[in-house]
């Protein structure tokens, strides 16, 4: 059985890349660009990919392909419908980021809520050295205790973020769907979250229904000028509108770990505001603690071995 791993470089160097226990041929590539996918998986039985896209055109040219193991929770890089039509099992990983993503989320929240980036920039620029007292007040500083956190997405990660927030004395509200006719118990209407949250954070997949979920019309409803945190998927928030919202003071700041295109295109509007003290952009690393990545890989190999045994797991 031939196993092809398309993009090993997307998994950190600290991770031990174990291999399946059954007899197999292992072929590993550091990176695979889209135009090379078809040739590299043409005679594969199992394909492992994180971000290398496996689309209909490539799948159609891989007659032996029986399984695709996605080394991520998001599976938008796979033509899932076509894979199903061909009887190909597709599995993803789940729950591995239950600590790392929420911790990164709160790293961004703390840095913005207490203006740590702005104050650090000031110290580097010599502001403290020129101050005539022991401290200065160039930026706002706010406690988390007593503030309201609006969470979009009530899966494993959203609930983990909520648990941390409650430990800090925050009020947590979960947003209902934007177009919900009925609000289920435990949820708050979409518009009420926009109007009452001091911080808004996203922990949901990118789908046609959630793309550009937040744009200028939604920003204009944010009465409390909240922080906007996105460690989920690029595209949930309209990036150009986010810049406008920051420029117009509609929001207090933003911390993003994901973009619509990664790495960012030169014309991405968020690249124009990197020096702002109330904006932080990290390079899609919220998921990437050493512990989380090793757990992720263990799941990938477990799914591959379960498939070979005839008991596939985490099937999409």
Say whether domain 100-281 belongs to CATH 3.40.50.720: yes
- Which residue in 233, 239, 303, 308 is the catalytic one? 233
The pLDDT of residue 58: 97
Among 104, 113, 284, 303, the active-site one is: 284
Strand partners, 90: 68
Look at residue 74 and tell me whether its pLDDT is greater than 90.
no
As a whole number, mean pLDDT of residues 89-105 equals: 96
For the segment 203-218, the average pLDDT, to the nearest whole number, is: 95
In this prediction, residue 181 carries a pLDDT of 86
Span 25-36, mean pLDDT? 98
Asked if the model's pLDDT at residue 172 lies above 90, the reply is yes
- Over residues 89-108, the mean pLDDT reads 96
Mean pLDDT, to the nearest integer, of 186-199?
97
Taking the C-alpha atoms of residue 4 and residue 46, their distance in angstroms, rounded to an integer, is: 6
If pLDDT is split at 50, 70 and 90, which confidence band does 46 have? very high
Query: Comparing 2-95+290-308 with 100-281, is the CATH topology the same?
Result: yes
Kindly list the domain boundaries of the chain, sorted by start residue. 2-95+290-308, 100-281
Q: Looking at the predicted structure, is the pLDDT value of residue 76 above 90?
A: no
Examine the pLDDT at 216 and tell me if it is beyond 90.
yes
Residues 161-185, mean pLDDT to the nearest whole number: 95
Alpha helices in the chain (DSSP H): 37-41, 56-60, 80-85, 100-113, 116-124, 127-130, 156-167, 190-196, 216-219, 239-247, 290-308
DSSP for 134-153, please give it.
Answer: S---SS----STT-EEEEE-
C-alpha distance from residue 84 to each of 16, 23, 56, 81, 177 (Å): 31, 26, 11, 5, 28
The mean pLDDT of 168-188, rounded to a whole number, is 94
Backbone conformation region of residue 310, classed left if phi is above 0, alpha if psi is from -120 to 50, else beta: left
* Cα–Cα–Cα angle for 298, 304, 310, rounded to 5 degrees: 130
Q: Is 233 a catalytic residue?
A: yes
Residues 205-227, mean pLDDT to the nearest whole number: 96
pLDDT band for position 53 (50/70/90)? very high
Residues 224-278: tens digit of each pLDDT: 999 999 999 999 999 999 999 999 999 999 999 999 999 999 999 999 999 999 9
Average pLDDT over the chain, rounded to whole?
96
211 is catalytic: no
> Which of 56, 127, 166, 262 is an active site residue?
262
Residue 307 reports pLDDT greater than 90: yes
Q: What is the mean pLDDT of residues 111-123?
A: 97
Topology of domain 2-95+290-308, per CATH?
Rossmann fold (3.40.50)
């Amino acid at each position: 059985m031939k196993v092809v791993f398309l993009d090993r470089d997307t998994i950190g160097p600290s991770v031990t890349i174990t291999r399946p226990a059954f007899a197999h041929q292992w072929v590993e590539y550091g990176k695979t660009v889209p135009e090379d996918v078809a040739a590299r998986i043409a005679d594969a039985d199992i394909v492992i990919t994180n971000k290398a896209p496996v689309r209909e055109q490539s799948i159609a040219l891989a007659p032996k392909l029986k399984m695709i193991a996605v080394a991520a929770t998001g599976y938008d890089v796979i033509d899932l419908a076509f894979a199903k039509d061909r009887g190909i099992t597709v599995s993803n990983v789940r729950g591995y980021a239950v600590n790392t993503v929420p911790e990164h989320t709160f790293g961004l929240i703390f840095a913005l809520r207490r203006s740590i980036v702005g104050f650090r920039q000031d110290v580097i620029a010599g502001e403290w050295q020129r101050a005539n007292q022991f401290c200065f007040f160039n930026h706002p500083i706010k406690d988390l205790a007593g503030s309201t956190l609006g969470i979009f997405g009530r899966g494993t990660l959203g609930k983990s973020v909520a648990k941390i927030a409650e430990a800090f004395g925050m009020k947590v509200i979960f947003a209902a769907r934007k177009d919900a006719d009925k609000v289920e118990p435990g949820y708050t209407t979409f518009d009420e979250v926009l109007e009452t949250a001091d911080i808004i954070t996203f922990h949901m997949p990118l789908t046609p229904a959630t793309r550009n979920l937040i744009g200028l019309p939604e920003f204009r409803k944010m009465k409390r000028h909240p922080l906007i945190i996105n460690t989920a998927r690029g595209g949930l928030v309209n990036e150009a509108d986010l810049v406008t919202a920051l420029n117009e003071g509609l929001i207090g700041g933003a911390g993003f770990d994901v973009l619509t295109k990664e790495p960012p295109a030169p014309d991405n509007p968020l690249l124009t505001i990197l020096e702002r003290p109330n904006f932080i952009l990290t390079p899609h690393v919220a998921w990437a603690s050493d512990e989380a990545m090793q757990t992720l890989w263990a799941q990938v190999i477990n799914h591959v071995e379960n498939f070979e045994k005839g008991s596939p797991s985490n099937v999409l």
